Structures are given as structure tokens and as C-alpha cells.
Amino acid sequence: MQRSWITLVLFGCLAASISTADVCAQEVITQTPIRLDDPIDFVRQGPEHWTSPEGLSSSLQIMLLLTVLSLAPAILLMTTCYVRIIVVFGLLKQAMGLQQLPPSQVMTSIAMFMTLFVMGPIWHQVYKDAIQPYTDPSIEMSLEEAWDIGKAPICEFMSRQIAAAGNYDDVHLFFRYVDGPPPAEMADVPIRVLLPAYMLSELKVAFLMGFKIYLPFLILDIVVASVTISMGMLMLPPGVISLPFKLLLFVLVDGWRLVVQMLLESFGTLPG
């Protein structure tokens, strides 16, 4: 009987010590700081740490960072002249009836190089005025100051393109759904309104330029179709006959140079 009581007491002490150790271990785990500079250790800590308040905030920071990095190319293209150039090149291919030539990679490369040419001075100004001072340890500049200084040249470029095209209605369209009166100057337009308005303006300008390119090829198609019908060649597609004439016309007038020149002139005077 005494042995049974002694056994029960020993088991009770052992259980109490185990539970105390578990509680202490949990306190140590929850109090362990989560460091984002060691992502491997963060992953090794397991789901319990990921769902803790500290781990959840760190997970949200990592998710936000990855989202921004994945959307960075699209955001970068939205604030440049790439949209106008690639849309005009796409309409040019359709107007000539060339579905496969030039390849899409070639057209994209030309659009990218032209974008670098147009936006190069603006990006250089952003780097010189915002990024370089922010990364210089001898200059005290906060992230907010660097952001305000860095976005100013890009917003000025977008505002200048909207003003040159006369597409102020696109800006007023988005201000209808924003509280407060619209600003008196384009420089005061917030970026959340300026970005979609700039995209709409670029698409409108690109389609107008594409129409100017489309028109001579359309007239050539109509002439060839009228000739083939009058000659009784109803089974022969007019596009097959007009394609060589389109290529000949495009080469004789030096079409690539004219299209690129029209695009560059549409952006106005570029900063030096």
C-alpha cells in the first residue's frame, strides 16, 4: 500500500515537472525574436511561429515585398512610353497583313530600346536626385523624401504627355470618384489618379497614330480588291495580292524610319 502511494506521488511530481517544462519552452519560443535577416531560421521555426503575432507581421512584410517585386516590371512599364510604342507597332503589323513577321520578340526589343532612349534622361535624373543621395551615408534623407523627389520627374513626364495630347478629360474622369475638388495644376494631381489617366491617354494616342498608319494600307487593299473583282478573280484573296505592294510601298517610303520618327516626335522635346 505504501509502495502504491509512493508511486503515485512520483508520477505526480514527474507530470508536474513535464508540464512546467512545456510551459517554459512555449514562453521561450513565443519570446524568441523573429529576424528577417535570417530567412532560413524563420522557415525552420515552423507554422507555430509563422502564425504568431510576430511571425504574422514578418510574413506579411515578406509577402508585400514579393508582391512589389513581381509587379515592379509592370509598374515600370506603365509609367513610361512603352505602351504607346508597342501598340503602334502591333497596329503596324496588322495593317501590313504580317502576322508572324517581324517576330514579336523583335518588336518588343525595338520598343524596349526606344523606351530606354526616351526615358533614359528621366531615369538618370531620378537616380541623381533621389537614389544616389538616399544611398549615400553622408546625406541624411528619409525614404519619404527620396520617394517624393524620385517620383517628381516621372509624374512630370506623364503630365506633359497628357497635356500635349489634350486628354485632360481622362484626369477629370477619375477625379469624379475622388473626394475633393480637382487641383488647378497638373503637378498637383495625385499619382493614383495620374497613373490610370496616363494609361488611357497613351492608348488613345497610340490608336490615333495606328489609324494614320492603317489608312494608306487600307486604301491599297480596297484598290486591289476592286481590281480583282472587276477582273473576275473572285476566288483569289485580295490580301495575297496586296501584300507585295504593301511591302514595296513601305520600303520605298522608308516606313520604319517614318514610324519611329513619328513616335519620337509625339513625345516632344526630351530633357538632356
pLDDT in tens, 170-180: 888 888 877 77
Grade residue 2 by pLDDT with cuts at 50, 70 and 90: very low
- Measured at the CA of 206, the angle between CA 201 and CA 209, to 5 degrees, comes to 130
Rounded to whole angstroms, the Cα distance separating 31 from 245 reads 77
Query: 120-158: buried (b, 16+ CB within 10 Å) or exposed (e) per residue?
Result: eebbebbeeebeebbeeeeeeeeeeebeebbbebbbebb
Q: What is the pTM of this model?
A: 0.69
C-beta of residue 121 within 8 angstroms of C-beta of residue 127: no
194 pLDDT higher than 70: yes
Residues 131-168 pLDDT 10s: 788 777 887 777 778 878 888 888 888 888 888 888 88
Q: Which percentage of the chain shows pLDDT scores above 70? A: 73
pLDDT of residue 41: 52
Q: How high is the pLDDT of residue 28?
A: 39
